Amino acid sequence: MNRILSPAAPVAGLLVLLLALSGCKSVDTVERINPEAIPDPVADERIVTDPTLRRHITVVEVNRATVSGDLTRVQVRLQNNLRRDRTVQYRFEWYDAEDMFVDSPTSVWRVRTLKGGETIALSDVAPNPRAVDFVLKLQRN
C-alpha cells in the first residue's frame, strides 16, 4: 500500500518540532520603567575561592532593609552570565556586632537554578535583632 503525503506534512512536522524544542528555555521579564523602590546598597567584600563560578555567576548588587522594626533583611541579586542554566548552592550566615556567629535556622545550604542570562534575588532575614552582619556563601552544585 502506497501512502502519498501532502507537501505540507513535512513542513508542519518541522514547525511542531521547532516549537517543542524552543519552549521553556527563555524568560520574558516585565518591570516598571520608573521603579518606586529605593534600595539601601551594602558595600561588600567578595572573597572568591572558585574562579569558574565567578565567571558564570555575577553579584549584581547587595541591599538591606529593616523589617518588623528591628530585624535586618538582606537581598543579593545574582546574574547568570551563561546562555545555559546554572545551579548553585547558597547559604546566609549571620553575625552580631562583635563578629560572633549567630545560629540561624536559615543558615543551611539551599539550591537555586538560574536560567541562562537570568537575574534572581536571594534574600534572608536575620534570626534576631543581635544579628547585624551577614555572609553569603555560594558554591557550584
In the chain, what are the domains?
41-140 (2.60.40.3230)
Burial class (CB in 10 A: 0-12, 13-18, 19+), 18: exposed
Q: Answer whether 124's CB lies under 8 Å from 77's CB.
A: no
pTM as predicted: 0.70
Lowest mean pLDDT among 40-44, 101-105, 118-122: 40-44
When pLDDT is averaged across residues 30-34 and rounded to a whole number, the result is: 67
Question: Does residue 79 carry a pLDDT above 80?
Answer: yes
% of the chain with per-residue pLDDT over 90: 48
**Residue 123: pLDDT band by 50, 70, 90 thresholds?**
very high
Predicted pLDDT of residue 141: 83
Lowest mean pLDDT among 7-16, 105-114, 123-132: 7-16
The residue to which cell 539551599 is assigned: 110
Q: Answer whether 58's CB lies under 8 Å from 32's CB.
A: no
